[in-house]
Amino acid sequence: MTDQFELTSVFCAKPQQFAWFIGAGTSAVAGLPTAWDIIWDLKRRQYCREENQEISRQDVQIGSIRTRIQSYLESKGFPSEGDPTEYTKYFENIFGDDKERQRQYLAAMLSEEKVTLSVGNRVLGALLATGRTRAVFTTNFDSVVERAVAEVSGRSISAYHLEGAESANSAISNEEFPFYCKLHGDFRYDSIKNLRSDLATQNEDLSKGLLNAANRFGFIVSGYSGRDESVMSLLHSVLATPNPFPHGLYWTGMKNAPVLPTVDRLLEEAARIGVKASFVEVDTFDALMLRLWRNMGSKEPEINAKVQKSQRANVDIPLPAPGKGQIIRMNALPIIGLPKECQAVEFASPKEWNDLRSAASANEGKLIFTKSDTTLCWGEEALIRGHFTDVVSVSAYDISGKTADLGNHLYMKQFLEEAICKALARRRPLLTRTNKSGSSLIADAHSADQIALSPLQSVVGKTTGSIAGLFTLTDEENPQPEKVFWAEALRISIQVLDGRSWLLLDPDIWIWPTRARPLAADFLDRRRGERYNRLYNSILDGWLSVLLGDHDRTTAFTVATHESGSPAERPVFSLQTRTAYTRRLAS
């Protein structure tokens, strides 16, 4: 599995190398109904027609009404809920083979009057309009992409679809970009694919266009579940071509949402033949697209203004006069010095994230990596060259501009957070962990220096332990149950607000193995249940005492990841030792 940070780095380095394959989820954020919505509207119509009932579309949002409709329809031989044939089965029963009635129905359901473009739609429109994205394929019938291109750029884009499909492949071959293709047609035309017989195969000409594109570009799939058998078959057929997905296949999906077996099989088969293929968990389509856009370099100001719409503005709010109120402590330390450089490493052959993580692990965390348009690293140059045999060059790399604008350089934010965790943990009984959720400092149960944890222990008691009676679940990768352990932890993040950098400190509990965290929910609720106000303040003080020791709180505190090294090898951080405060006025 690839995380959002890696996909962001890979895509933003060379966005023209990727085509997009989008489904109904990308239109749902614009206010249009999803396939689920349409299926339930068709079920509602079927039920009302046969039972002479009156149920509105809004009523279908009520679980008990859906249960009544579903039970009735299944008793009549219709598919069970979630069956891949549901969509086509209900279309066939409602409309038969009358394409004009289908078109009219979809025109009403997908009316442009219902479209309110989201930031994700506008980003995709901007990528197409500026040439950063050259090709987009979709199973959608609607006009969201066309609207998005027009809104952000004032230009138009026409889709290749079932009408005039024969010219689609030649357009790819002749590099007539941007290229936009609707595999299932456009509801504004007569030819659309909705019924079982329609969807059994894909249009030959449009399929050739996709195969052609898939031999030129990597593909990012978004908002598409993988339920359409003919589409999945088409994507599988790419793997039999001479140069399948040359820059990778990234299938994005919502965090914690189930992944269909058909998607897993496609990614596994792609990886087996050497394609960089991975599933990427994202928060939402909008969040993913905004993340990509923020990390894109050299954005056109007029396009950017249309994409993001809201802009930061300077405000001048006078401070209130002295008076009554409450002083509120914040959980943030001011950062007064961030690293200004690191090392850029050039290799004879490109390195994937797995290669970099292996190098960091083999060197016991003494190397810290990130990726943008090049590979960046902190740590001794000798260790880099000792691990990799194909290093071409290692040179100093200025990061001062990026550290001042972390919101648009998220890969740099994670890089800094991992480094400051390593620096704070050095010579202390603490472990560090950095993953897609962030970076953490963790009390080390096996350290000989438990005395250093006493300021925290005086507040919370034990700082590590096992959860009585709790074991991990077994699966194919983990056939044996494991005992579940916990430790006091401190989540670390860096934020830049109004030009000032802050280190946010958030006390937490770490769970081992990490996959057992959902199982430990009850324990976490009990352990953290009373940690508000005064107790939270005391825990924060305990952590600061662990980190700062007997350092004079009136002077800056400086930490580094290593004892020695050049500025490019050894990141140094300077912190003020008192947390920020704010004043809440009395009402």
* More reliable by pLDDT, 186 or 343: 343
Q: At what angle do helices 119-129 and 144-153 cross, to 10 degrees?
A: 70
Q: Which CB contacts under 8 angstroms, 24+ apart, belong to 183-186?
A: 183/137, 183/138, 183/139, 183/210, 183/231, 184/139, 184/140, 184/141, 185/141, 185/161, 186/141, 186/143, 186/159, 186/161, 186/162
Pairing of strands 249-254, 218-222: parallel
Helix (H) or strand (E) holding 493: strand 483-497
Residues 361/331, Cβ–Cβ less than 8 Å = no
Q: What is the pLDDT of residues 407-466, one digit of tens each?
A: 777 888 889 999 999 999 999 999 999 877 789 999 999 998 899 999 999 999 999 999
- Confidence bin at 126 (pLDDT 50/70/90): very high
Helix (H, G, I), strand (E, B) or coil at 11: helix
Residue 206's nearest CA partner among 232, 170, 157 is 170
Q: Across the chain, what does the average pLDDT equal?
A: 85
Angle value at C-alpha 211, between 206 and 213, nearest 5 degrees: 95
pLDDT value, residue 368: 95
- Confidence bin at 171 (pLDDT 50/70/90): confident
> Average pLDDT in the 221-250 region?
91
pLDDT value, residue 325: 58
From residue 340, give the alpha-carbon distance in Å to each of 379, 478, 571: 15, 43, 8
d(CA 11, CA 533): 43
- CATH 3.40.50.970 assigned to domain 4-30+115-294? The reply is no
Q: What is the pLDDT of residues 139-150, one digit of tens each?
A: 887 888 999 999
Residue 534 half-sphere exposure toward CB, CA atoms < 13 A = 0
The token pair that represents 509 in the structure block: 């509990």
SS3 content of the chain, % helix, strand, coil (to 5): 40, 20, 35
pLDDT value, residue 367: 96
Residue 14's nearest CA partner among 430, 552, 374, 270 is 374
Pairing of strands 135-138, 18-22: parallel
Residues 330/500, Cβ–Cβ less than 8 Å = no
- Confidence bin at 183 (pLDDT 50/70/90): confident
Helix (H, G, I), strand (E, B) or coil at 567: coil
- Residue 240 has phi, psi (to 5 degrees) of -90, 0
Residue 206's nearest CA partner among 220, 196, 221, 193 is 193
pLDDT value, residue 327: 63
Point out the least confidently predicted range of 94-103, 376-385, 471-480, 510-519: 94-103
From residue 516, give the alpha-carbon distance in Å to each of 178, 253, 549, 559: 46, 22, 33, 33
The token pair that represents 232 in the structure block: 């999945």
The domain locations on the chain are 4-30+115-294, 35-109, 332-585
d(CA 138, CA 184): 8
543 contacts: CB under 8 Å, gap ≥ 6: 456, 490, 505, 507
Residues 55/65, Cβ–Cβ less than 8 Å = yes
Residue 243 CA, chain-centre distance (Å), reads 27
pLDDT surpassing 80 at residue 97:
no
Helix (H, G, I), strand (E, B) or coil at 20: strand
